[in-house]
Structure 1
């Protein structure tokens, strides 16, 4: 699966902008922007962009794997969260530049629970949805106003935006949905959890526990979001090629599972 590493910017074109000016602004490259957004026939005239189009711009420097959305006039955190299938609380709580969830400003860059996927030959939106476990309608909504994305057809080389499944209080950034993992893979994300305790387990498609319920601790306890990290040390060999990573908390009152996040994975 062609999950793309590095930093990507989601930018909405405004009047007067050119691909060249955007390449300079975001430390990217004209040809790369053209290729990954399909800015060529039959989608559009070569190198021509229009106000309102949404472009995915890869930074060419060696950066963490992150996706940032550039705030537009009239945006709100609620609107952005709805578009990218994420809770407002997650976006606000994991972006230090957001001091007040009711106040964001144009050109502010917000880190989103979204990753980019390079479309390969033979791909379809349905197949990508099945493999990642992300609903097709969520993928289409995240890619609204893209110049080369349609429900019926996607083209090789285009970068597709895929929302990362999250709950109100937990988001997992590693592993990403549909990615291939092996023993001692890294687990990483953000959580707003009582006493900072984050639980997880890994099961294969036959419901065999590859990693029984374990816990890690976030940097901060609720009501703040804290970053958590751990290693997925396999206790059993997987009995299937695919599985599910479950990350959650438990109620202090009755021990029931809360804030469950479920991610499709492939065993390497």
Structure 2
């Protein structure tokens, strides 16, 4: 009987430890919440030492708005493991939303980024385990060019070879490009597909060979479904 009691006690400890470990793995992480017929927002899981002021600074949002979105929380006495709703500041915050089977290593390789820099920038203690739709914050200095809906991270042009990569939140995830002369003549054009369509920021890559010698610029843009005009254009000199 005593042996059975010991076994039950051990099993109880094992089962109780599972949710605690799962919670520990997600502390300090944020994920993207899609809400039907409402504004989308982030959910951040509170870790020790967090305050609403710190979160407002980190996610570049207004502290008063953050408090209004979370009236149930004590601003200076947050409970570890609870969730904070954070309004998304797309104008100032640079971020990427993970996809199924995504990893920080894949993100770093895709855009030729420093993996350790991404881990440090996000204060990740367990970077191997990503949440579904996790928010990965990116340093502003990694972007070579940007506008409201397209952000270029990598741009290399050498001889007849060209590579560009970045993030875009565009309709049907379609990113267009064109090689042009100084006077606007289009020599070569095409498109690529980002990893996900807007309102998410999806990764995209452009790799071109046999670039015409007359080409002076690479233009990256989205196309208006209304009239076919270029939107959010970024033009880079070759």
Q: Normalized against structure 2, the TM-score is what?
A: 0.43
| Structure with higher RCO (Cα < 8 A, 6+ apart) | 1
Larger helix proportion of the pair: 2
Larger Rg: 2
